[in-house]
Chain A
């Protein structure tokens, strides 16, 4: 098992390498970066521009720039020495093992060009809100998708199946952001029942994530939770409604496939009750592909709730990304892209490992 995981981990390196190259080149060809904007400023002299370029390493050849950004090259090194850290060991090693401290490999994504803060701290602050939103939605939607999918498969071609199928198609066809917009119109503009966006009520609750917030949450946990809950309802409904559809169809298909297998007939022939046939035999087999599918969706929930976060001004990663695009904030953009790609690759790995664990037929060989 360990060997299998290690082998799969090594297998992710080429993919991540290509991903990093892609991200780097996408942003390389995209105009409007800090250098462009700096250069367009009429007050900037040629000397200042040169100093700017030198300071950010923009005077170096592009492969060196990329190499420094990844963290394999040491910006202080010269010639072949670029691969050696200041501690005299290969630069790509972690800092405590004698490696360098620059570049993505060492968690250094640089500084935001719009706010000046480190990218990692900016992104870090966005992780918790996204996790809360994504986590609550995921739990709800997996339960609902499993429930509706199994029901539709068991009653296939019946009324329940038709209803669930139509519901799924509609959900699948709803643009997330438009659904959010409609919910805001109905529930916050017309009926004024729920907040139209944000994560906390600024009139009564301190800014989320700050020390004051946690102090407040500690002293008045019920108020804080209720406030968070009120703000969660609409975004969660949006995410769940749009995301159930695909998984519910998937569960239905996997379940029908499973119910059509010979071993289900064997179980029935043994006199196993229909309930046990469904839950014990069919569902257990249908869960194998479902687990994988959900694992593969995780990163897109984590990073991909862009539409929902934007509509509801939820201060998560998705909103941060949109803001970064808006501000031409390259370092933040690249940071989020890299982190997302790593999460995607990790989820793929997780899916494979989960599959190997739950399916006795797969050997780790």
Chain B
């Protein structure tokens, strides 16, 4: 045993549970003194991959916040240089990530600014998606019946479309260029998974006694949904939203890479890559390599973190 076992699947759960019955009050004495979130936090801290992931992700967040002040990039005033160069220059001491071809930008400066916008797009779009998904899923799951059927048919239908295709069409025709509209479009398509999740949780919670009790006490539906049910669906929403950030960042990068996303005046990791395309054949690997690595580090960090969160927030897992 070289590392602590993640709590969600101790290899021989059966043998162990036979001997520690989590239902027994004695076992829970220690747990009762801690809040649900405190327990989750402690579990999260014990999850090694989650910690590594958090360091990676929040490291990039700090770079995204602080970096642009150190590496200033005035994207509203693109300098028109005297000469367009045919090829960039490889990394050197002055330019650690090398320089681009054409306008001869510093790749490090570009990447640092790209990280900021990619993260902004990812976080805002996922947040929009989480809000819409929670509302739609909550309404569908709580009211059931026809409301549920219609809403879920729409979700099914949207899921039958390759979403990236649809987003491509939207960004191409509506939002190309402006990073805010690209963010909103992604947000408008991010909610499907969360809606399904929340609905599933609602359906199971609806049958619980405390909901009946609340209804019998004459509490309004809206209050029951938002005060009683959604807090219970919080864990899957958090996990799904976290992972959603990674999805949006990759999706945005791809669409900007194809030239249908954010315009060149706002650097994102995707459109920096798009700029590098024409210079690949000249062996300008640094222009493509560093922004891509930034994506990998962010996404890997989020995925590790999401997994840790999933384990930490799982009420069935033992501490």
Q: Are A and B close enough to touch in the complex, i.e. CB under 8 Å?
A: yes
A residues near B (Cβ < 8 Å) are 14-15, 18-19, 21-23, 26-27, 30-32, 156-157, 169-170, 172-178, 181-182, 184-185, 189-190, 196, 256, 260, 262, 265, 300, 303-304, 306-307, 310, 321-322, 325, 333, 336-337, 340-341, 344-345
- Counting from the closest, the 9 A-B pairs by CB-CB distance are A18-B157, A178-B292, A30-B173, A173-B300, A173-B299, A344-B160, A341-B160, A19-B157, A185-B285
By a CB distance below 8 angstroms, the chain A residues around B165 are 303, 306, 321, 336-337, 340
Among the stretches B7-15, B213-221, B222-230, the one at the interface with A is B7-15
Most-contacted residue by chain A among B158, B162, B172, B277 (CB, 10 A):
B162
| Cβ-based interface call for B127 (8 A) | no
B161 in contact with A15 (CB, 8 Å)? no
A22 to B161, CA, bound (A): 9
A184 in contact with B162 (CB, 8 Å)? no
B11 in contact with A157 (CB, 8 Å)? yes
By a CB distance below 8 angstroms, the chain B residues around A15 are 153, 156-157, 160
A190 in contact with B283 (CB, 8 Å)? yes
Given A175-B254, A344-B159, 17 additional A-B pairs, CB 8 A? A15-B156, A26-B170, A30-B172, A172-B303, A173-B296, A175-B253, A177-B273, A178-B292, A181-B280, A181-B292, A182-B292, A189-B285, A260-B14, A310-B258, A321-B168, A325-B172, A333-B169
By a CB distance below 8 angstroms, the chain B residues around A156 are 11
Pick from A22, A170, A306: contact of B296, CB under 8 Å: A170
29 sample A-B contacts, Cβ–Cβ < 8 Å, listed by A number = A18-B154, A18-B156, A26-B170, A157-B3, A157-B11, A172-B299, A175-B254, A175-B296, A175-B299, A176-B254, A177-B253, A177-B254, A177-B273, A181-B288, A182-B288, A182-B289, A185-B283, A185-B285, A185-B289, A256-B9, A260-B9, A260-B13, A262-B14, A306-B165, A321-B168, A325-B168, A333-B169, A341-B160, A341-B161
Nearest CB in chain B to that of A179: its residue: B292
| Cβ-based interface call for B60 (8 A) | no
- Residues facing A in B144-176 (CB within 8 A) are 153-154, 156-162, 164-166, 168-170, 172-174
Most-contacted residue by chain A among B161, B170, B257 (CB, 10 A):
B161
By a CB distance below 8 angstroms, the chain A residues around B13 are 260
A15 to B285, CA, bound (A): 46
Nearest CB in chain B to that of A253: its residue: B9
| Cβ-based interface call for B30 (8 A) | no
A139 to B68, CA, bound (A): 45
A22 to B155, CA, bound (A): 11
Nearest CB in chain A to that of B301: its residue: A173
| Cβ-based interface call for B92 (8 A) | no
By a CB distance below 8 angstroms, the chain B residues around A337 are 161-162, 165-166
By a CB distance below 8 angstroms, the chain B residues around A196 are 281
Nearest CB in chain A to that of B153: its residue: A18
A126 to B173, CA, bound (A): 25
A184 to B300, CA, bound (A): 23
Nearest CB in chain B to that of A158: its residue: B2
By a CB distance below 8 angstroms, the chain A residues around B173 are 30-32
> How many of chain B's residues touch chain A, expressed as a range?
35 or more
A23 to B169, CA, bound (A): 11
By a CB distance below 8 angstroms, the chain B residues around A304 are 162, 164
A321 to B164, CA, bound (A): 11
Q: How far does the Cβ of A43 sit from chain B's closest Cβ, in whole Å?
A: 25
A321 to B276, CA, bound (A): 23
Q: How far does the Cβ of B27 sit from chain A's closest Cβ, in whole Å?
A: 21
B280 in contact with A185 (CB, 8 Å)? yes
A177 in contact with B257 (CB, 8 Å)? yes
| Cβ-based interface call for B136 (8 A) | no
B5 in contact with A178 (CB, 8 Å)? no
| Cβ-based interface call for B179 (8 A) | no
By a CB distance below 8 angstroms, the chain A residues around B303 are 169, 172-173
By a CB distance below 8 angstroms, the chain B residues around A265 are 14
By a CB distance below 8 angstroms, the chain A residues around B159 are 344
Pick from A30, A170, A341: contact of B174, CB under 8 Å: A30
Q: How far does the Cβ of B186 sit from chain A's closest Cβ, in whole Å?
A: 15
A336 to B168, CA, bound (A): 13
A306 in contact with B164 (CB, 8 Å)? yes
| Cβ-based interface call for B191 (8 A) | no
Nearest CB in chain B to that of A343: its residue: B160
A189 to B287, CA, bound (A): 14
A157 to B105, CA, bound (A): 46
| Cβ-based interface call for B135 (8 A) | no
Q: How far does the Cβ of A32 sit from chain B's closest Cβ, in whole Å?
A: 6
Nearest CB in chain B to that of A178: its residue: B292
